[in-house]
Structure formats: C-alpha cells, structure tokens
Amino acid sequence: TPITSPDLSKCSTGTNLNTQQPLDVNCCPPVSKEIIDYKLPPVGKMRFRPAAHLAGEDYYAKFEKAVELMKALPPEDPRNFMQQANVHCAYCNLTYQQTGDPKLKLQIHNCWHFFPWHRWYLYFFERILGKLIDDPTFGLPFWNWDNPDGMIMPEVFARKHSPLFDARRNTSHLPPALADLAYSSKSPTNPKKIIPNNLTVMYGEMVRNVSKLEDFYGAKYVVGTAPDPGPGSVERGSHMALHGWVGENTPTGEDMGNFYSTARDPIFYSHHTNVDRLWTVWRGLRGPKPKDFPDSDWLDADFLFYDENAQLVRVKVVDTLDNEKMGYVYQDVDLPWLKNRP
Ligand code: C2O
C-alpha cells in the first residue's frame, strides 16, 4: 500500500537526526480543514530554470526580491519563508505518523520518494516566489555543481546583505572554494583533485552504478516500512556531500548540514533544483530502458503542500514524472561527466 498524506493535526516534535535528540523547534505546519486534490494546471508559458552562475543581474534582482517578499510574509502564512523551510523539517525529522501504520514515523528521504517529494516541494516554492513578484514564468536557478564552471557556490548567495545569504555556512567554503562532491569533514580531498574527482562521482551516480531503478531512486518505501530503507545514488553521494560542505563546520551542521534547518538556507533550493535537474537528465540518458517504477505503491503515493494561494493540496508521485507537464524547463548546459568514463 502506498504512503499517503500525513494527518497534520497529529504532527509532533520531531528528532534532530544529527544528535538523535528531540528537536527544540516546532516545525509543524498550520492545519487546514480543507484539502484539495491537486490537478496540474494547463501549461501556458514555460517557466525557465537557469544555471545560477549564468543567470545575470536582472534575474538575480528578481530572485532576491521574491525571497525578500517571502521572508516578509506574516509568520503564520504557510507561504512565509520559515514556514516553507519547516515543510522540509516536518517531512524529514520524524514529526508525522505514517498514515496506515501510526507506530511508524514518516520520512521521505533515503527511499524512492526522494526525487518526487522534492520535486513537488520546489514546484510550490517556485510558484509562491513567482506569485510574489507577479511573474508566472519565474523559475528557480540551479546550482550547476556537476559542471566545473558551476563548482563554486554561486556568488549571488555569498553577498552578505542579500536575502540569499545565510551566516551559518562553513566560511572556508565560500567562493572561490571548489565544491567537493565527495566531501567528508574527516577526509578532505586534495584540492587539485576535486574537479576530476567530482566528474568521476557524477559518472558513477548517473551512469555506472545505476543499473536497477532502485539504484537511482532509492529503496521501496510503503505503509509498514520503517524510515530510511536506503537512498539512491545521487541522494547518498553528491547530494549529501554538498549539504555537509555548505553547512557550518560544527557537529550539528546548521543550517545546510542538518535536515531540520537545511531549508532555512536559500541555497538549499538551488542545490535541490540541480538534484531535480539531474533526475530529468538521467531519464533522458535511459533511452529505451524503464525510467519509472510501474507500481502503484510508488505512483499513487501522495503528499500535502500549501500552494501559492495558501491552499492545502494533495499531490501524487504520478504527476511528477515529466517536468514539462509541470510547466518548467531547464537551461541546457554541458554534461562534462558523461565523457568521464573511467
Ligand atoms: Cu530533503 Cu537535500 O534534502
């Protein structure tokens, strides 16, 4: 039986996954009696998601304005920036019961819902931003860390007075430090080897180590499965490495290096936009091989989000399979790792 939406009224204090202690923040969303089954709206003009390092000042000004407006919404508005950050905490930090097996907690990471859940999360975040600046074509920028040209933190996030700045980052990883896709605080990579190593990491995650669907998506997760059955290649590898690389160099890693606080850093959304883009790229590379699980246990799973009109909506995995049907496209950029077969 597929995972279904949690009962928001049963949200409780979750767990700090870095310390295994109860969280000292409340990340439960507002409760709403009315839930609408979400239908993808007809696609008008596509939203365009640019590479962050290529986007240019006019675009940055719009993006900064939108985030500033989102931070200025009333704190109880589900579209407020902190509320949006808490959506991530609530779905990750074991605050919800699993509907159908309330002894278990819900966790959408480390399983086959990682890509679809985050796709929906970014989708609504993007639509809220677009609405705030009255631009229905606004698209989130992606941090193109799989390409040497994008392997430093996009400079717009490092401007001290920008709404995109977060003071809780590892200051030795601000530009021009090279992002290390195999980062671990214990064993630093030789700086001269970072770029070739990153390309090898990407080739492994996208091509070499993903013969089965679960290898890419993560393990099956249904009603009755305990949290964390197992992540897919990108989630486990480059994705987690960069969370830790950006976050402050402390045992608890706030903001980016700890799941409850990670989405308080605006760069989270560009990091995940690239993860989402890699999903689209991977599908393109599959050729005739299956791209999706055919099981209703995957396709019919559903989640809850607040949309750009502050309406609580129920969304399904099946509607995430094609980003163009969701109304957005990615800037086309080189895939240098694809030629990096070892
Ligand atoms: Cu929801 Cu990068 O984690």
What digits encode the pLDDT tens for the residues 1-11?
Answer: 999 999 999 99
What is the ipTM metric for this complex? 0.99
- Consult the annotation and say whether 272 binds a ligand: yes
- The atom number, within ligand 1, closest to the CA of 91 reads 1
pLDDT at residue 319 in the model? 98
Does residue 31 carry a pLDDT above 90? yes
> If you measure from the C-alpha of residue 317 to the centroid of ligand 1, how many angstroms do you get, rounded to a whole number?
17
HSE at residue 189, side-chain half, CA atoms within 13 A, is: 19
Residue 1 lies inside a defined structural domain of this protein: no
Average pLDDT over residues 29-47: 96
pLDDT at 271: 98
Which domain covers residue 267, as residue numbers?
8-339
Q: CATH code at 50?
A: 1.10.1280.10
Asked if residue 45 is part of any domain, the answer here is yes
In this structure, the dihedral spanned by the alpha carbons of residues 72, 76, 82 and 86, taken in order and rounded to 10 degrees, is: -160
Q: What integer pLDDT is reported at residue 24 of this predicted model? A: 87
Q: What's the average model confidence in pLDDT over 61-75?
A: 98
In a domain, 185, yes or no: yes
Tokens of 254: 């706030």
CA distances to 78, 84, 200, 311 from 308, rounded to whole Å, are 9, 11, 39, 7
Report the catalytic residues: 88, 109, 118, 239, 243, 259, 272
Q: Specify if 2 maps to a domain.
A: no
If pLDDT is split at 50, 70 and 90, which confidence band does 191 have? Answer: confident
Let me know: does 2 contact 297? Beta carbons within 8 Å.
yes
Q: How far is the CA of 232 from the centre of ligand 1 (A)?
A: 13
Question: How much helix, strand and coil, in percent to the nearest 5, is found in the chain?
Answer: 40, 10, 50
pLDDT 10s digits, 125-144: 999 999 999 999 999 999 99
**Cα–Cα distance, 56 to 238 (Å, whole number):** 26
Q: With a cut of 80, say whether residue 81 has pLDDT above it.
A: yes
Instruction: Single out the residue of 118, 134, 121, 123 nearest to residue 66, CA to CA.
Output: 134
Structure confidence by residue, pLDDT tens digits, 212-222: 999 999 999 99
Q: Is residue 3 part of a domain?
A: no
Q: Give residue 259 CA to ligand 1 midpoint distance, Å.
A: 7
Beta carbons of 305 and 121 less than 8 angstroms apart: yes
On whether 113 is known to bind a ligand per the annotation, the reply is: no
Give yes or no for residue 27 having a pLDDT over 70. yes
**For residue 95, what pLDDT band results from cuts at 50, 70 and 90?**
very high
Q: Widest CA span of the chain, in angstroms?
A: 56
pLDDT band with cut points at 50, 70 and 90 for residue 342: low
**How many domains is the chain built from?**
1
